[in-house]
Amino acid sequence: MNYTELHPGTMVHEHNRLHRYFGNQSQPLHIDSVIAELPLNESSFQENDPVEAVSEFLQSNPAIPGIILYNTDKSYIGALSRRIFFEALSRPFSLDLFLKKSIGNLFEMVESEELLLLSSDTPIILAVEKALARRSFDDPVIVEFPHGEWRVLDVYHLLVAHSHIHQITVSALKEANELKSELMGIASHDLKNPLGAVIGLSKILKDESENNEQREMAGQICELSAHMLKLVTGLLNSSAAESGKLELKLEFTDMYELASAIVYQNQHQAESKGQTLNLALDDGDEFFVNADAMRLREAMENLVSNGIKYSPAEALITIRLLKHNGKIRFEVKDQGPGLTREDMEKLFGKFRKLTAKPTGGESSTGLGLYISKQIVELHGGTVFAESKAGHGAIFVIEIPSVESD
């Protein structure tokens, strides 16, 4: 009789075992599950039980990883894994010598194992870490219950349970994130219209007031409300992007027209800091793409706005349009402090603040680059930055080009 005959096992058996493992559970595992909630194996023997009985038991219960051995007074002696047990019997003459003897005799000739002893209230996640840290992955885990009760657990069960808990955790986090995005979207949407009304009314007060102090206060209300509206719009776009609801209305679009409009719109802000916006393009080239003009303009404008925000007074900010490998490339080159290695790793993340500070007291929502990335990638394009700390930065958007008729 050899080891193969004593230890049958197939992939079908493993599949059925997995089905039994989940099917026999009284309740689903939760995130803080402990070992006691797993289906543990009853495989205890007294030291005077015959080796033949133990062998028959293990052969008829292939899912059990080993046995626990007791003295006649039920005091715990130790445990043998299935592997060690059958390896001991497969030695020359061992089967004939020990099969009719008590398990205590065989237990003495087997080399001692580094068994993992865990309390029944040990969290499954911690138990997996301890089990995988052992040298022998095949050895069973011995679980101690209150009042001197012991059971044996297969590491396989631990891994399956750990995987199940991981799935529960991911699902819970996903649901929480979706709920957060939904609530954020609702709150942002409900704030958008009132803020628009505040902006409109503050402009009327500013224009019609004859008192200088009142005009200044109305102007501040208008400016702060506009900033809040920008933040709310960003949150709405962010929520839509995360939920996959950021829809595009694609049409034949001239990126040169978008760039020109953006430069014109931001000219006043640049001039207030003594900066110069310069739009450069290759003569004779056309810059047509299939895009949602409003969304793409938002992504492009975020880059220009950042260039103004982080460049010093009197700086030159260069905006370029060119064709590059079948794509329209939109570049914004600033004269700011540049990006550190840490900044480069955090770029385009949500609510990520970089080391650079606005040079004119402007504020930042931490959403602009994140939203730009979502918009550009929905267009099948890419957005990235090239920079060296202390030498400014170049932010780039590339969108697949289309030919005009």
The pairing of strands 141-145 and 116-119 is parallel
Domain that holds residue 222: 181-242
Shared domain for 320 and 372, answered yes or no, is yes
Q: Does residue 313 sit within a domain?
A: yes
Shared domain for 109 and 197, answered yes or no, is no
Distance CA 53, CA 74 (A): 18
| Confidence category of residue 22, pLDDT binned at 50, 70, 90 | very low
Looking at residue 243, what is its pLDDT? 62
Q: Does residue 164 sit within a domain?
A: no
Q: What share of the chain is helix, strand, coil (3-state, %, to 5)?
A: 50, 20, 30
Residues making up the chain, counted from first to last: 405
Q: What is the average per-residue pLDDT within 380-392?
A: 87
Q: Does residue 56 sit within a domain?
A: yes
The whole-model pTM stands at 0.52
Of 196, 218, 242, which residue sits at a domain end? 242
Shared domain for 80 and 219, answered yes or no, is no
Shared domain for 257 and 396, answered yes or no, is yes
Shared domain for 272 and 348, answered yes or no, is yes
Shared domain for 119 and 70, answered yes or no, is yes
Q: Does residue 391 sit within a domain?
A: yes
Q: Does residue 161 sit within a domain?
A: no
- Note the pLDDT tens digit of each residue in 140-198: 788 888 877 888 888 877 888 888 888 888 887 777 777 666 666 666 566 766 777 88
Shared domain for 63 and 11, answered yes or no, is yes
Looking at residue 182, what is its pLDDT? 66
Shared domain for 356 and 390, answered yes or no, is yes
Q: Does residue 375 sit within a domain?
A: yes
CATH code of 7's domain: 3.10.580.10
Residue environment code for 6-18, b if the CB has 16+ CB neighbours within 10 A, otherwise e: bbeeeeeeeeebe
Distance CA 373, CA 352 (A): 13
Contact 101, 50 (CB under 8 A): yes
CATH code of 319's domain: 3.30.565.10
Q: Does residue 405 sit within a domain?
A: no
99: exposed, middle or buried (Cβ count in 10 Å: 0-12, 13-18, 19+): middle
**DSSP letter string over 324-356?**
ETTEEEEEEE--S----HHHHHHTT-TTPPPS-
Q: What percent of the chain shows pLDDT beyond 70?
A: 82
Shared domain for 44 and 24, answered yes or no, is yes
Looking at residue 71, what is its pLDDT? 79
Distance CA 171, CA 56 (A): 43
Q: Does residue 163 sit within a domain?
A: no
Shared domain for 93 and 233, answered yes or no, is no
64 versus 136: the higher-pLDDT residue is 64
6 versus 96: the higher-pLDDT residue is 96
Of 221, 242, 263, which residue sits at a domain end? 242
Residue with tokens 């540049």: 338
Q: What is the average per-residue pLDDT within 268-272?
A: 89
The pairing of strands 66-70 and 76-81 is antiparallel
Shared domain for 75 and 24, answered yes or no, is yes
Give me 216's structure tokens. 């200044």
Domain count for the chain:
3
Contact 401, 288 (CB under 8 A): yes
Distance CA 98, CA 130 (A): 34
Shared domain for 234 and 348, answered yes or no, is no
Contact 132, 152 (CB under 8 A): no
